[in-house]
Structure formats: structure tokens, C-alpha cells
């Protein structure tokens, strides 16, 4: 039986808002979907891929009647989505988890939020309690049953949103980038639940994702571009079509990218998706390769290059230093939560620094201290030092210096600090607020510099928009809310860099972006870093992103800094990271598997550096290497 069927579906946000109908084939309308024919069988698991703005989310919203097609027909288990009388039954059967969990949270207590859906479809009270237990256990949030959603981290909120849909036990579950803000362990836990529901409960799953490893779990992968389905098939087949992926603004998974690069260099490695098989295929290829025919690319790893060139230890400009930084949310209340517990960390001037850690580890709380959005107690205006009681052990002093400013002193000029330390939040497009792009980008500059002249504002806004790759003349008078998701993110970043801060802090800057969008954002940040921004700090759950871009990184765990080092050192101990809910870059997994087979490849865990070092190894040592295979037996 078909669970979902789209028949020649067209949809335009412009036409829906205007309710004007008209010629659906007019080239003047901006169609989000263009004649889509698409069906999903009951119990099927379908992954939907595509660049930002390709129509993926529109497809999801049309499926349960949140949007209505301009033309064409959509049915869910035979029910017509355009029939208002059928909508209640359709929405009971189709649950959607959106990109931003704040769009789905409605209650002040977690269990009430999860109970909201089942209550509204008439589930018995006793069963509602059982469903709450099931959903919270499924997403690893059982201990937060009585917490307040507003006090949770972004990743924790996302898990609660997923639990709210799981509690409905729908026949169809749609996840629209639902794991984008989760740490690797959280993503795996959620996908394990989704797979179990699909396999054991026969729940139909539509997964909208940019993570190849998630798409590989599906029965079928569908690629969208400009509102049309342009490619579909088994995921492993889709991901092997390099030319087609590039044409549709997607990138190869790291596994296939490695295999292709090695093959082009003369080491014919068969394509594979998982690290174990890639390692085995490399070993097999080495056994029969003509070493003299290898063409070794001369490319240095990103992290190594940056680490060696930009660090300046003789200046406070761009430097962050803290000792014993502690922060408690809702102190002196039943909801008191220790987010930071004695953080000691130094970020050197000139670094491209990464911060990683599982959801709720204190990463976002820490970076919000860097431009005093959160303040230490001694920096508050009403702070008065208390005399220690006789015999009382003095509380360790907190030190926090950012860009030369003492953030523990309430006399510090925090307005001036914030012009020097720019902050871009998770989903920065939600920072937009002004009527035009120009006004939005100009706001920060005007706020920090009251005497700034109009001509200077115009020039600064133009430079900021052009820096992030946007056309000033084309966009300056447009509403930021009319732009695509990628454009909104660039405008939000432009609004922060317009003051040319000396430290730029970004909390999950590439979350929710397609692979090409992520690459473009990181290229942009490196350009800003090279041109004028002294230090860049990024918070990320993407270990490949950290390995490819950062000079050093810090691992946060339960409000403390567990370790600080170069990515190649941090990611060397895969088991230790896994115990803490973290993953390692794909290259690190392949490197570890090769080491088990007596091929020790020293590299910085970036794809290009791994390929170069592996080829050099094969050319100089490969023929005489004693390779091992499964079970420790020698070949």
C-alpha cells in the first residue's frame, strides 16, 4: 500500500500568500515544487537530499497539510491532503520533527510538552504516561522529564521535539534535519530509534538530511534540486555518482571521496561507505599496485598549515584566557544547573580554534561569556565583594581576559568589548529583525559607534555583504525574511562582521546547511581570518569540520575542559572519545583500522593529508609491509 503519493504537485509560497491562483506555469512565480511525482510505500525508509532551498522542507509540510498544493494531488493512506475534513486523520498519522526545536515547544515542563500531542488525539491517560516514558528513553532524556524546555541546550531541545513526535506513534514520521543540532552519540541514538520503529513497527520514515551516514540507512535516497526530483535510487548507488552530485550542489561522502582521490592518484581502491571496508579495500589495492605509477598530490593539511602560520603569543589582541570560570543557571532555585565548573582554557591570538563536546557540556555557555552576554558575578553592576567569614576557605578567583579586556571587572567597557568580539549564534538567521537587509547589517555598527557617518555606514555594509558573497545592490533594499536560508545566514554573519571584530565566535555556524553550503561558510571564515580577523572560534559537533579547519580544539565535558590539543592528537584515541559521546573524523576511523593491519599512516585526519601520506607510505614502504587481516592472521 502506498503511504504517500504526490501526483504532478506544484507549490509556490508567493501564490499561496497572494491566494491569486493564476497560471501555474508562469515563469514569473517562484515555485518551491515543480511538477513533483513522488510516492512512498508503507514501511519504506526514504532519505531526501538536496541543497538548501531545493524544496525538501516544502515536501515535508505538504505531506501533512501544513501547506496545500497550488496544483496536483497529494494523498496519505488514500486520504486527500486538500480535503479539510481529512486533515485531522492525516495529522494523527504523520508526525514531523522540524529543524528548529523552538518551533515545536509549547509547554513549560518537558513531560507536558511530550503529552500535548497524545492528549489532543484522545489517547487514554494511562497510556500517555507509558508513551512519555517510551519517548524520553528513546532519545536519552529520561532524567529531564520535569525540566523546563527553555532551560535546555539546543541539542537537548531537539531531542525533546523528537520525543514529542515519537509519543504520537504515527504511521509516518518525517524528520526535517532533526539531528542537525545533536552530538554524534545523540544522532546515533535517534537514528537507532528511527530504524527500530521502521523495522519493527513498520513506521514509514522520510528523513531529510545532509548527513551521508544517515542517508545510507535508508531503503532509497531521493535528490531534489530547484523543486524537482532529479535523482533517486539505493543510497550507495546515488553517492557514487560524483559528477551528478556536484551538478546538484552536493558533495561526495568522505568515504567515497577518499576512494576516488586514491584511484585518481594510481591506487585503485574500490568505493565503499564504511571505514572498515575502505581500510580493507586500501590494503587489497596496495598488494597489487605499481608503486612507480603513483601520482602523489602535494597538499598540506588545513590544520597543520594554519597552526604553523598565524599564532602570535606576544599580544592580547585576539587572545582568550580564563581560569576557574564557573556558571550556574537559575542559581538559588530548584532549577539550579551547573553549566560550567571551573573551566581553565587559553585560546591564543591568531588561532582558528574549535570547541567540541556532547549536548549540554557547556560549550554555548562558555562562548557566551566571551563577549559578556553572560557575566561572571564580579562583573555585575550590583556586585559587592563579601568579607570572608573567619576560618572560611577563600573561593578560587576567576580570571577571564578576552582581547585584552578584563571580564571579571564591572568597570570594563563592555560595549567596546562587544564591538571587538563578534558572536554568531546557532541558526543565525533567527537574529534577523530589520525591514531591510541594509538596516539589519548596519544596526550593530550604528549601535557601537554613535558618531558614525552615513557614508561610512554605507561603505561598511557594502564591504560586509560582499565579504559574505552577497550582491549589495541586489539585496540592500530587500527584506531579509524574503531570502533563502543560505542568504539569511550570510546576512546574519555580515551583521556581526560589519564592525570587523578582532575575535569572531560562531556557535554551530554550518548546522543545517547542505555540504556545499558548509564548505562555502568555512571558506568564508578562513578568508575573514586571513584578511583581518585575528582569532576565529567555532563550536561544532562535526568532527570532520574540526579536523579540516582548526589549529587546536578543546573538548568540553560536564562543564569542564577535558583536553586541549591539535585535532590530530585529540582524535587519536577513538575509544576515549566514544565513551564521552563524541565521534572522530572518518579519516581517523580509517587510519585506526589500517594501523590494526600494520599500516601506520601518520596524518592530520584531513582527507587530502591522509591521501598524500598514504600514497607516500605506499611508494616508500608499501611493498615490504607485513599486512594483517581479520583475526590477526597475516596475508
Q: Which of 289-298, 441-450, 619-628 has the lowest mean pLDDT?
A: 619-628
- Which residue in this structure is represented by grid cell 522540524? 98
Size (the chain), residues: 635
Burial degree of 624 (CB within 10 A; 0-12, 13-18, 19+): exposed
Spell out the residues 6+ positions from residue 181 whose beta carbon is closer than 8 angstroms to its own: 101, 154, 155, 157, 158, 359, 426, 508, 511, 541
Q: Given pLDDT bands bounded at 50, 70 and 90, which one contains residue 635?
A: very low
Q: Cα 154 to the chain's mean position, in Å?
A: 11
- Which residue in this structure is represented by grid cell 569572531? 504
Distance CA 312, CA 319 (A): 9
| Residue ranges of domains in the chain | 2-247, 254-281+587-632, 303-382+395-584
CATH of the domain spanning 303-382+395-584? 3.40.50.300
Q: What's the mean pLDDT in 172-193?
A: 83
Q: Given pLDDT bands bounded at 50, 70 and 90, which one contains residue 631?
A: very low
Q: Given pLDDT bands bounded at 50, 70 and 90, which one contains residue 17?
A: low
Name the DSSP class of 99: S
Question: With the C-alpha atoms ordered 38, 117, 215, 549, is the resulting torsion angle positive or negative?
Answer: positive
CATH of the domain spanning 2-247? 3.40.50.300
Mean pLDDT of the chain: 87
3-class secondary structure, 553: strand
Q: Given pLDDT bands bounded at 50, 70 and 90, which one contains residue 615?
A: very high
pLDDT at 626 (0 to 100): 54
Spell out the residues 6+ positions from residue 188 whose beta carbon is closer than 8 angstroms to its own: none
User: How confident is the model over 407-434, as pLDDT tens digits?
Assistant: 999 999 999 999 999 999 877 777 899 9
Could you tell me the three cell numbers for 287? 598488494
User: How confident is the model over 361-385, as pLDDT tens digits?
Assistant: 899 999 999 999 999 988 988 877 7
User: How confident is the model over 464-520, as pLDDT tens digits?
Assistant: 999 998 999 999 999 998 887 778 888 999 999 999 999 999 998 887 777 888 888
What are the CA-CA distances from residue 466 to residues 41, 166, 305, 462, 477 (Å)? 46, 44, 26, 6, 15
Q: Please, are residues 353 and 550 in contact by the beta-carbon 8 Å criterion?
A: yes
pLDDT at 525 (0 to 100): 92
pLDDT at 394 (0 to 100): 64
Domains 2-247 and 303-382+395-584 share a fold: yes
Could you tell me the three cell numbers for 561? 575542559
Name the DSSP class of 387: P
Q: Please, are residues 67 and 77 in contact by the beta-carbon 8 Å criterion?
A: no
Q: Given pLDDT bands bounded at 50, 70 and 90, which one contains residue 243?
A: confident
Q: Given pLDDT bands bounded at 50, 70 and 90, which one contains residue 633?
A: very low
- Asked whether the predicted pLDDT for residue 632 surpasses 70, the reply is no
Buried b (16+ CB within 10 A) or exposed e, 301-327: bbbbebbeebbeeeeeebbbebebbbb
pLDDT at 583 (0 to 100): 85
| Strand ranges (E), 266-334 | 320-329
**CA proximity to 423, closest of 381, 372, 358:** 372
User: How confident is the model over 56-78, as pLDDT tens digits?
Assistant: 999 999 998 999 999 999 999 99
Burial degree of 396 (CB within 10 A; 0-12, 13-18, 19+): exposed
- Asked whether the predicted pLDDT for residue 306 surpasses 60, the reply is no
pLDDT at 302 (0 to 100): 45
Name the DSSP class of 314: T
3-class secondary structure, 471: coil
- Which residue in this structure is represented by grid cell 581500510? 279
Amino acid at each position: 500500500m502506498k503511504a504517500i503519493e504526490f501526483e504532478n504537485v506544484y507549490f509556490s509560497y508567493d501564490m499561496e500568500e497572494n491566494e491569486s491562483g493564476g497560471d501555474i506555469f508562469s515563469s514569473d512565480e517562484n515555485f518551491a515544487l515543480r511538477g513533483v511525482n513522488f510516492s512512498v510505500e508503507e514501511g519504506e525508509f526514504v532519505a531526501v537530499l538536496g541543497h538548501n532551498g531545493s524544496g525538501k522542507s516544502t515536501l515535508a509540510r505538504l505531506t501533512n497539510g501544513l501547506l496545500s498544493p497550488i496544483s496536483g494531488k497529494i494523498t496519505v493512506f488514500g486520504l486527500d491532503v486538500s480535503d479539510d475534513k481529512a486533515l485531522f486523520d492525516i495529522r494523527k498519522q504523520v508526525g514531523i520533527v522540524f529543524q528548529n526545536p523552538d518551533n515545536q515547544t509549547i509547554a513549560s515542563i518537558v513531560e507536558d510538552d511530550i503529552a500535548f500531542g497524545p492528549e489532543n488525539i484522545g489517547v487514554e491517560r494511562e497510556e500517555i504516561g507509558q508513551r512519555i516514558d517510551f519517548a524520553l528513553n528513546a532519545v536519552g532524556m529520561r532524567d529531564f522529564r520535569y525540566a523546563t524546555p527553555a532551560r535546555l541546550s539546543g541539542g537537548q531541545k531537539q531531542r525533546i521535539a523528537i520525543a514529542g513526535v515519537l509519543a504520537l506513534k504515527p504511521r509516518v514520521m518525517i524528520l526535517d534535519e532533526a539531528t542537525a543540532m545533536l552530538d554524534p552519540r545523540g544522532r546515533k541514538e535517534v537514528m537507532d530509534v528511527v530504524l527500530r520503529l521502521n523495522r519493527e513497527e513498520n513506521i514509514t520514515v522520510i528523513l531529510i538530511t545532509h548527513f551521508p551516514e544517515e542517508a545510507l540507512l535508508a531503503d532509497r535516497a531521493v535528490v531534489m534540486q530547484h523543486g524537482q526530483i532529479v535523482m533517486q535510487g539505493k543510497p550507495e548507488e546515488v553517492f557514487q555518482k560524483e559528477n551528478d552530485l556536484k551538478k546538484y550542489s552536493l558533495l561526495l561522502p568522505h568515504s567515497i571521496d577518499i576512494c576516488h582521490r586514491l584511484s585518481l592518484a594510481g591506487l585503485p581502491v574500490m568505493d565503499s561507505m564504511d571505514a572498515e571496508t575502505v581500510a580493507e579495500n586500501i590494503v587489497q589495492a596496495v598488494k597489487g599496485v605499481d608503486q612507480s605509477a603513483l601520482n602523489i598530490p602535494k597538499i598540506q593539511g588545513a590544520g597543520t598549515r594554519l597552526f604553523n602560520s598565524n599564532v602570535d603569543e606576544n599580544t592580547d589582541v585576539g587572545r582568550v584566557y580564563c581560569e576557574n570560570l564557573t556558571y550556574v543557571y537559575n542559581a538559588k532555585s530548584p532549577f539550579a544547573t551547573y553549566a560550567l565548573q571551573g573551566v581553565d582554557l587559553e585560546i591564543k591570538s591568531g588561532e582558528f580554534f574549535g570547541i567540541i563536546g556532547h549536548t549540554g557540556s557547556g560549550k554555548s555557555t562558555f562562548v557566551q561569556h566571551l563577549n559578556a552576554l553572560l557575566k561572571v558575578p564580579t562583573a555585575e553592576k550590583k556586585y559587592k565583594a563579601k568579607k570572608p567569614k573567619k576560618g572560611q576557605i577563600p573561593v578560587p578567583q576567576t580570571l577571564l581576559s578576552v582581547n585584552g579586556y578584563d571580564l571579571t571587572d564591572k568597570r570594563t567597557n563592555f560595549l567596546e568589548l562587544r564591538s571587538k568580539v563578534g558572536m554568531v549564534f546557532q541558526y543565525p538567521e533567527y537574529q534577523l529583525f530589520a525591514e531591510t537587509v541594509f538596516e539589519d547589517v548596519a544596526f550593530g555598527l550604528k549601535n557601537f559607534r554613535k558618531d558614525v557617518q552615513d557614508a561610512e555606514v554605507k561603505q561598511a555594509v557594502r564591504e560586509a555583504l560582499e565579504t559574505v558573497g552577497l550582491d549589495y545592490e541586489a539585496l540592500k533594499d530587500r527584506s531579509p525574511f524574503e531570502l533563502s536560508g543560505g542568504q539569511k545566514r550570510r546576512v546574519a554573519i555580515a551583521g556581526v562582521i560589519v564592525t570587523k571584530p578582532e575575535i569572531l565566535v560562531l556557535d554551530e555556524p554550518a548546522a543545517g546547511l547542505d555540504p556545499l553550503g558548509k564548505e562555502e561558510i568555512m571558506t568564508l571564515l578562513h578568508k575573514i581570518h586571513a584578511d583581518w580577523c585575528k582569532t576565529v572560534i567555532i563550536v561544532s559537533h562535526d568532527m570532520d569540520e574540526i579536523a579540516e579547519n582548526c589549529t587546536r580544539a578543546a573538548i568540553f565535558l560536564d562543564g569542564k575542559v577535558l583536553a586541549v590539543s591539535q585535532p590530530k592528537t585529540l582524535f587519536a584515541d577513538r575509544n576515549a572519545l566514544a565513551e564521552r559521546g563524541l565521534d572522530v573524523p572518518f579519516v581517523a576511523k580509517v587510519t585506526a583500522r589500517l594501523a590494526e593491519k600494520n599500516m601506520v599512516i601518520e596524518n592530520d585526519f584531513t582527507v587530502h593529508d591522509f591521501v598524500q601520506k598514504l600514497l607516500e607510505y605506499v611508494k616508500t614502504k608499501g611493498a615490504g609491509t607485513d599486512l594483517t587481516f581479520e583475526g590477526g592472521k597475516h596475508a
